[in-house]
Structures are given as structure tokens and as C-alpha cells.
Amino acid sequence: MSPTLAVIVRLVAVLGLMLTNGVVMIYLLRKVLGHLHIRLGPMHVGWHGLLQTVNDVLKLLTKEDLTPRAVDKVLFFLAPVVVFVPSLMAYLALPFSEALRATRLETGMLFTFAVLAIVPIGILMAGWASANKWSLLGGMRAAAMQIAYEVPLLLSVLPIVMIAGTMELGAVVDAQAGTWFGLVPRWFITDPLLWPTFLIFLISSLIEVNQTPFDMSEGESEIVAGFASEYSAMKFALMFLSEFSNTFVVSAMGVTLFFGGWLLPWAPDSWYEAVPALAPIVFLTKAYVGVVLLWWIRGTFPRVRIDQMMSLGWKRLIPAALAMILITGVVQKLLAPVLYRAVG
């Protein structure tokens, strides 16, 4: 296969995965939230409502694409693109297995977070272009959140880079192979030193994907869907597809960085060689479990106020993340050699 053709096949595969994710995740969200609220969620179209989202997608495709008169036409058109393209790009570095990934980037971790940082710009663009006070408020909130959470999110993954010694996501997974004392999998989440780091990562990721404790830019009940109020049909669908997809990407990043990526606990290497599909299946399953956990949080906690989120980001998360980097550095350089000798 020629290199150009291979690139095209990979891009189409990524796009397919993203669209499938969107359809599956919308159904899953409605079911998870439904059961959390002690109701059934979609039930009528297909078995247990399985075909409901397919119908919804068809409906969105056939709806009239409205453009309100007062909007800034160019930016209004451009905003869904600016939201959608980065979330598609974010799939490029995800390691589904040793071999299966769109591309192998030496700076994969940084790449994923850097492209996700463009999404709020699209939201801000949508908010401004809509010529609607609520939309503008939503966009401004997205921008303010972006500035506040970007730093702790990036700082929170630095201890992982320090321990794994690389930013390449596949190598980060490889660094988590094996067990402690032949018993506990050596995933980074089993390292007590990294628990505060994981907490910071979790909170910053929730903010990154606008999930409910931090969904101020959308805020259905106060600013009527914020940046998305004026959008309809496919433009709206693109924005929300991107939001769902970002949730998946963030969960996949969490799985890669903390939960051993495609690794199963105690599974010998020969398994992955015998069944090539095992690694991607494990990875996808873990990522989806992560998504459901994120939605459990979404269905449980009320929305915080924007000022509460700001003070959390600036006054708590950033100092905590910096402290964790310092602690990890000291432990890595001074204590780890002693500990390794003790453990053997």
C-alpha cells in the first residue's frame, strides 16, 4: 500500500470511529442518565431504544439549517468547523494497541492536549457570531475556563512524563507493564504517589470537556444552551458530536496515562500476539468504562458557579499540580533508587 493511500485509510478510519462513538455515546448517555434518575431512557425505537440515536441523527440531517439574520455570517459558519476539526485531530495520537494507531507521535501527549485547546476558541467564536447575549456569555465562560484549566491539566500529566520518561503515548503504556510484588498491576493508578495527580487530571478533564459540574458554557437551565442557542441542524450536530468525542478522547487519555492503556492485569505478552484484536478491545472497553464514570459524576453533582470554578483552578489546582511535580521529582531522583533496591 502506498504511503498516501495508507494515510487516507487511517483518516477515514478515525472519522468512522469518531462518528460511531458519537452515535453510541449519545445512546449510552441517555441510558446512563436515565437509570441514574430512576427512569428508563429511550425505549421505543428498536430493542430498548437501540435505534433511537440513529433516528435522531437522520432527523438532524434533514432539518432546516437556520441562519438568524443578525449573526456574523462568516464566523457563524466557521465556528462548528473550528470546534469539530480539533476533536477529530485528537484521535491521531491515541494508542489503541502497539501497532494500531493513526500515527506515532513522539510528543503525542502534548499533541492531544494542544489540539483540544483549540475547541474553546470555536465555542467563543460561536458565542460571538450568534449575536445573542446568552451565547456570548457561554462563549466568554468557555474562554475563561480554558485559560484557567489549561495550566493545571498540562501540569498534572507532567509527573507521568517524569516517571515514564517519554511523551509518546504507546511508550507510556509500555512503562506500565508488569506487576508490583507479582500481584498489583504496575499501572500508574496503583502508585499512591500519583493519586493526587490523578485527581487534578480528573477535575481538569471534566472542565476540558464541559461536563456537568463544569458545564457553565452550555448551562441549559441558566443561559439556554449558551454558545449553541442559535445553532440548528448539522451545525448543532457537529458541535455536540465534538463534545461527545472529546469526552471519549479525555477518557482514553486517562486510560492511557493512568490505567495501563491496552494492558490487561496479569496477562502475558503472548496473549496480545495470539489475538491482535485483544489490545484495541481492552482499550476501547476501558475508555468506555471511563466515559460511564464521567457521566456518573455528571448525573450526580450540581453545576458549580463560574467564580467557584475559577478559584478552584487558579488557587487550588495549579499550586497542587506544581507541588506534585516537585514531589515526583524528588522521589524519582532520591527515593526511587533506594526503594527499587528494597523491593528488588
Residues at the interface with other proteins (CB under 8 A):
3-4, 72, 75, 105-107, 110-111, 113-115, 117-118, 120-121, 124-125, 128, 131, 136, 139-140, 143-144, 146-147, 150, 154, 166-167
Residues contacting 182, CB < 8 A, separation 6+: none
Report, in Å, the least distance between residue 294 CB and other proteins. 22
Minimum CB separation from other proteins for residue 244, in Å? 22
- C-alpha grid cell, residue 184: 498489583
Closer residue to other proteins, CB minimum distance, 243 or 263: 243
- Minimum Å gap between C-beta 143 and other proteins is 5
Radius of gyration of the chain (CA): 21
- Check: CB of residue 333 under 8 Å from CB of residue 246: no
- Give least dist CB 214 to other proteins, A: 17
Toward other proteins, which CB reaches closer, 165 or 265?
165
Collect all residues with Cβ–Cβ distance below 8 Å to 119 and sequence separation of at least 6: 82, 83, 86, 87, 242, 246
Cβ 79 to other proteins shortest distance, Å? 10
The 3-class SS string of 266-283 reads CCCHHHHHHCCCHHHHHH
Least spacing, CB of residue 13 vs other proteins, in Å: 20
Residue type at 230? E
CA distance 291 to 289: 5
| 24 vs 121, beta carbon nearer other proteins | 121
Tell me how far, at minimum, the Cβ of 110 lies from other proteins, in Å.
Answer: 5
Q: Which is nearer to other proteins, 112 or 256 (CB)?
A: 112
How far apart, in whole angstroms, are the C-alpha atoms of residue 201 and residue 154?
8
Alpha carbon 184 to its chain's center = 27
Nearer to other proteins, 49 or 120 (CB): 120
Query: Of the two residues 19 and 117, which places its CB atom closer to other proteins in the complex?
Result: 117
Contact (CB, 8 A) for 221 and 342: no
Nearest C-alpha neighbor of 210 from the set 158, 238, 250, 155: 250
CB of 16 to other proteins, least distance (A): 25
DSSP assignment letter at 314: I
Contact between 169 and 95 (Cβ < 8 Å): yes
- CB nearer other proteins, residue 5 or residue 38: 5
Which amino acid would we find at residue 21? N
Contacts of 158 (CB under 8 A, 6+ apart): 321, 325, 328
Pick 110 or 284: Cβ nearer other proteins: 110
